[in-house]
Structure 1
Amino acid sequence: MTTVAVMAEPPESGAVLTDLVEHDRLTPDEASELYAGMFADVCEAIDGSGAELLVNYRADEQVSSEDGTSEREVRSALDGVVDTDEVRFEVQVGSTESARAGNTITHLLEREGVRTAAVVRPTAALLGRQHIDTAAMKLRSNGVVLGPSTAGRVSYAGFAEPIDFEDAFQTPTVETLVQRATDAGLAVDFLQTIPVVERDADLSTVVSLLRARSRADRLVPTRTTAALDEFGFEVVDRDGTATVVRP
């Protein structure tokens, strides 16, 4: 069984999806709602797969939390989604993304002795249980399995052995992780490209894909889709460029 850690921020208004707020796509409260929905959809997918869900939340001193502790806020976002009494919640350790992800993976593989471990972005709402299970199968014969995203990012990074994680999540993350894996003599495999929603440029890809899947009666992340529908986002052609608009 692969242990999959979702690297979560507390969905605090004004503290998440700040690029979308700065580009006037969302208000701080709307950004918090969308982030919480994506986080819940990702955790539900992992919980419904053959993997063990670990919610890895930011330490209180690293975030601004007005409504309580970081753990309380991420737990609240999952109420009614997963059985929070059965899910592991652990604080992240490290001052950078690379350090936090690396510490989590190394601890799971070396201290807890799990066979395989992965980290996942909570903004990868289109990451489904089938992706999680496919990655677990690939990790049986590969040291590293990555879910590429847009702009050189990754949505999923799974490991059967630790690598050198210092600055390993620097942009372009997918290239950096592959370089570290091959430097360690590990075979690498990939999932399909799975977009994340973190920046203004991400919206046109995800909104269009979710609307298309909904119209085709295909599976979609329900909370993420509902939030984007509520905001009224649509993708239109503006001088040959896909552009997101809202009423």
Structure 2
Amino acid sequence: MTDIAVFADPPRPGLVLSTLAESSPLSEEEAADLYAATLKDTMRAAERSGGELLVNYRDEESLPDEYAGTTGQSAEAEVRALAADALEEPDETRFEVQVGSTFAARAGNTVTHLLEQEDAQSVAVVPGTAPMLTRKEIDSAAMKLRRNEVVLGPSGRGRVHYAGFTESIDFEDAYATPEVETLTNRAGDAGHEVGFLPAATRIETGADLLSLVPELNARAAAGRIVPEHTATLLREFGLRVEDGEDGPTLTRA
């Protein structure tokens, strides 16, 4: 069984998906709402899988000063509220504070602690912006982790939407661009075998939505499964892809 650590921030405007707000028709408030939706879909996929969900959240003290204490709720309370809305059994879900000054450090601390201190069979690091990650894919990764010490799910521009481990690596700057290549090299340096999942969109920028919006529309039209919260909100936003002067462009109805 894989412990699936979903990394979560409180969905505060400007703190989450700030690059998306700068590179798409969405405002900072709408980008924060979209982050909340993608996080709920990501947590739901992990809960429904054969693994064990761990929500790894940033607490109030770890947030930049301009985003700390701005909502009247603690960061933990905001993340727990999203989990309560998304999960079938939120009271059975484990919540842990992230520890570390960078994402790589926080991921490394989580993976190393679970593998070495809690004797987890395998640990997966998943960002809360991976709504296309499905129960089926998580379970497929668990099977691959029986044959490989590291399993990576690529995303656009060299990023990853999933990173699973049965053995630790050197995590210092392990998520340096391009993440999928850097993590693979670190695994190779440690003598580990690396397996891969199919690529899936991880939402951070307008370019990511440019790929995701038509894919979700197509899947919905074909009667296929879509991430419920993400797809519903994108429809409410009226986002669509049209031809522009420089090629496909993200617009609003």
Look up the match of 1:190: 196
Give the 5 Å matches for 1:193-232: 193-232=199-238
1:238 Cα offset (Å): 2.1
Counterpart residue type for residue 198 of structure 1: E
Residue 70 of structure 1: which of 66, 69, 75 is its match? 75
Residue 140 of structure 2: which of 128, 134, 143 is its match? 134
Look up the match of 2:111: 105
User: Are the equivalent residues in 1 in contact too, given 2:206–2:250 (CA < 8 A)?
Assistant: no
Counterpart residue type for residue 11 of structure 1: P
Look up the match of 2:22: 22
Counterpart residue type for residue 81 of structure 1: A
Deviations 1:127-156 (A, max 9, x none): 000010000000001000000000000000
Give the 5 Å matches for 1:141-180: 141-180=147-186
User: Are the equivalent residues in 1 in contact too, given 2:24–2:250 (CA < 8 A)?
Assistant: no
Mapped pair 1:4 → 2:9: no
Look up the match of 2:247: 241
Mapped partners of 1:190, 1:3: distance in 2: 18
Counterpart residue type for residue 212 of structure 2: V
Mapped partners of 2:180, 2:42: distance in 1: 20
Any idea what SS the aligned residue of 1:235 has? strand
Counterpart residue type for residue 123 of structure 1: T
Give the 5 Å matches for 1:116-127: 116-127=122-133
1:81 Cα offset (Å): 1.8
Mapped partners of 1:24, 1:212: distance in 2: 21
Mapped partners of 1:137, 1:111: distance in 2: 23
Taking only the aligned residue pairs, the percentage that are identical comes to 52
Kindly report the root-mean-square deviation, in angstroms, between the aligned alpha carbons of the 2 structures: 1.1
Mapped partners of 2:163, 2:23: distance in 1: 29
Counterpart residue type for residue 159 of structure 1: F
1:85 Cα offset (Å): 1.2
Mapped partners of 1:24, 1:104: distance in 2: 33
Any idea what SS the aligned residue of 2:116 has? helix
Mapped partners of 2:175, 2:85: distance in 1: 32
Any idea what SS the aligned residue of 2:33 has? helix
User: Are the equivalent residues in 2 in contact too, given 1:59–1:93 (CA < 8 A)?
Assistant: no
Look up the match of 1:59: 59
Moved more, 25-34 or 143-152: 25-34
1:62 Cα offset (Å): 2.0
Counterpart residue type for residue 229 of structure 2: R
TM-score after normalising by structure 1? 0.97
**Gapped regions of structure 2 (runs ≥ 5):** none
Any idea what SS the aligned residue of 1:236 has? strand
Task: Name the one with the larger helix percent.
Answer: 2
Look up the match of 2:33: 33
